[in-house]
Structure 1
Amino acid sequence: MRTVKHPEERKNDILNAAQVLFSTKGYQQTTIIDILKAVGIAKGTFYYYFTSKEEVMDAIIDRIIKADIIVAKRIAADPNLPVVDKLFHIIMAQSPKQGSNKQGMIEQFHQPSNAEMHQKSLIKAIKELSPVLADVIQQGVEKGTFQTKYPQETVEFLLASAQVIFDEGLFQWTAEESIHRALAFIDLLESSLHAEKGSFSFLLKRLTGEGDENNQ
């Protein structure tokens, strides 16, 4: 007897299966037939929810980013955390755990054939995350920790530059080059916000990838 599921549950089943397949088999190598077999549904059921494999990927990107934003907003609203600690926890929470499906998806974004998908994910991440970070920056301004007239715009510029410069799919820096750029970015960040020197030194490991093996 065929199992009848709530539409949202069935849609999530498709997304869950597709995310595992995209992460392990690869986006280009995964077919809609693969997804159908993994979920155990007919082609008509798939097309009831999605028009294409690309639309499935878009939905997965949305879901990953929304989950990150929920965590970021929770941290931003914590009245017991100093603003610099909030930024630290928000930024570190964006890092995928070693071997996770999220990490597998990010690796797929870096494939040359997935350049358009990669661009979409970067734009959406900046648009969704920047207001949360800007809110924390504004909290810092009100407490005298930071100084800026443009918290939203400052965050957008910093996020956009970091997303591009430190994207391993776009640039393959040597270890030394990566460290120099990370130090320059930290200096730029502290200067832009008139923050105390060393406030964002925690970003060095995050930007250079050092210590990622501990992020499990």
Structure 2
Amino acid sequence: MQRGRRKERGNYLAYGAQQLLVEVRTETGNWLGGRKPLSVTKMVRSHLVDRRNEHIDEGGATLGHRRRNEMELFHQLARRNIKIRKQSGFGAQWRQQWEEVFAGHLTEEEKQHIHLRNRNGVNGYLWHVFSYGMRGCFTGEEAEMAFDQEEKTCCYLFFQHGDDAFTVEDASGLKAADLATENDKIDLYVVDSEFNWTFVMTHESGWLGPYFSRR
């Protein structure tokens, strides 16, 4: 993606031809840059989409790279003797169920405001319900600790983009560290089979995420 030179234009920032305005807060509730916006919001890298290459997601990963990253995670868990199997075609279904459980309290207007779904050339992310402070959660190391300490049996793993998903039949020994890959440009959602809790790793983890929340 060509971001171009960063320029101040009025009360927002623009990168070259990309001029998408989005509202983003950190886990601390402070506006990025430490400045309260006036009547507009600040644009950040994770929400830019190059319309000439729509197969490139906001984390900078192409479709091929994304699939390789997903399979890298699959084989990584298998090498750690974690029993895992691929669930082709379950991604969309589980994303929909996740939205109903963890973002079902939001109105359609609120979902549009926080870019929960793809809209007008901007990729949406379900985890925006956490980054925008619309649902309580643990973040960062606290999220990882909560996930590690959660009693786990069967878990589902799915991604923001793509239809493939994974099932871990016995996740009792699954830890946050097991889910970290060399290439972190994936948005991974982990839930128990009843969707009572979720652990989310984002392509912005370390800045936005990871997150852990209970139903």
Write 1 or 2 for the structure with the bigger share of strand: 2
TM-score, normalised via structure 1 length:
0.31
TM-score, normalised via structure 2 length:
0.31
Larger radius of gyration: 1
Write 1 or 2 for the structure with the bigger share of helix: 1
